Structures are given as C-alpha cells and as structure tokens.
Amino acid sequence: DQQVKQNSPSLSVQEGRISILNCDYTNSMFDYFLWYKKYPAEGPTFLISISSIKDKNEDGRFTVFLNKSAKHLSLHIVPSQPGDSAVYFCAASVYSGNTGKLIFGQGTTLQVKP
Amino acid sequence: EAGVTQFPSHSVIEKGQTVTLRCDPISGHDNLYWYRRVMGKEIKFLLHFVKESKQDESGMPNNRFLAERTGGTYSTLKVQPAELEDSGVYFCASSHWTGAYEQYFGPGTRLTVT
C-alpha cells in the first residue's frame, strides 16, 4: 500500500519559470514532510522540510506548501534553473515517533530546459 | 566534515552467493538507516539503528538480510543467499537526532544479482 504518492513521473519546464511538484499521502499520522533531490549515481540530498503545524516553509528559491485537509503537499521552485534537473522525492514521517523512518514517494523527474 | 560513505559502489553477484555492504555514517551520528530502491521505484525503509541497537527493523524483507552495527560506528548489511529480486540500490543514511529529522544519505551501493 503506497502511503506517499507522486503521481507525475516527470515534469518539464523552461528555465526561469516555476516548477511545481506534487505529493499526496494517505496516512493521517504523518506530521513531518521532507523533499529530497537526487542526481544520477548519487544519494538523495535534503532540500526542505515542513512540520504539520505549518502550511508553508520557504528557503530561497524553494517553497513547500502543506494542505493537511487534502493530505497534499507541493514543492515550488522559482525561478527554475537547469541545475535543478534531477529526481525529486517527497518523504513523510511521524515526528513524535521513536524512529525517524522516512516513507518515500516514487519520485518525479524534473527537466529544466535552458 | 566527511559525509556518509558506502562500499562498494557496485556489486555484481550470482544468485545464491553472499554479499556484504558497508556504510560509514557521519561521525557522531547515532542514528543509521538502511533503505533500498528497486527498479526505479520508491525508496523503501529497511531498518534503523540507534548506536548499536536495532530500533526498527520492520522493513527488512526476510531473514536472508542481516544488518549489524558493532560498536555503534559503521554498519554492514549482509544478503545471504542473494536472490534476483534483491537487485537494486541500497542507501545508507545517518542523522544526529532520533525522530523525524533530516537524514543525510550516502551515494548508495548498486547490487546486481544475476
């Protein structure tokens, strides 16, 4: 049972425009969410996170939005740059749990065209 | 500060053989996680160590997989005997705090079972 879903396998945007990556989850116990970026032959790199007590978190060009009622989060990248081309993973966890295991989505491949 | 390192980067073995993967976490990180990504799908949690103790091994697929973390430093993941479906990329991650915090991933070990 897939608890975290990224329904768009790929996304292509023009340099300078906004990239919006989406993620849905089913487990209402999740209260901490993270986005990771992955380049080929490398491990995932942490980008940004958000706790369920917030609905928005911003870090430079990256903003994550959380809609708890819809069990949906999104990552906005503005402006998009060619170096942002990578696979983006959404992950969820239970903040108060005694394990920090992350539940990942399948990933969305972002291509930013110059 | 050195990141998470994994060895080997790639391993090709025949079905029925044994393989041991190694992970060295970031120095001082008590929490060590193993994940696996199969066939370009989602990254799946395998288990979590806090120091040398197994905190959560709910993701281990079967008893052919054995993880150890002697002395609370590096960890090994042994697959014995390997099956075709064990092929994939095995990631190790570490974090300082226990719980839902960002985890730092290694580059992964690509395991191919033929």
Q: Which tens digit of pLDDT belongs to each residue from A36-68?
A: 999 998 999 999 999 999 999 999 999 999 999
CATH fourth-level superfamily of A4-109: Immunoglobulins (2.60.40.10)
Q: Where are the domains of chain A?
A: 4-109
Q: How is residue B35 written in tokens?
A: 């994940």
Q: Note whether B113 and B86 are within 8 A (CB).
A: yes
Q: Which tens digit of pLDDT belongs to each residue from B47-104?
A: 999 999 999 999 999 999 999 998 889 999 999 999 999 999 999 999 987 766 789 9
CA angle A96, A43, A5 (to 5 degrees): 55
Q: Where are the domains of chain B?
A: 5-97+104-113
Q: Considering only the beta carbons, identify the residue of A41, A42, A101 that sits closest to B33.
A: A101
CATH fourth-level superfamily of B5-97+104-113: Immunoglobulins (2.60.40.10)
Please, what sign has the CA dihedral across residues A53, B49, B56, B45?
positive
B101/A100 Cβ within 8 A: yes
Most A CBs within 10 Å, among B43, B96, B105, to test the A interface? B43
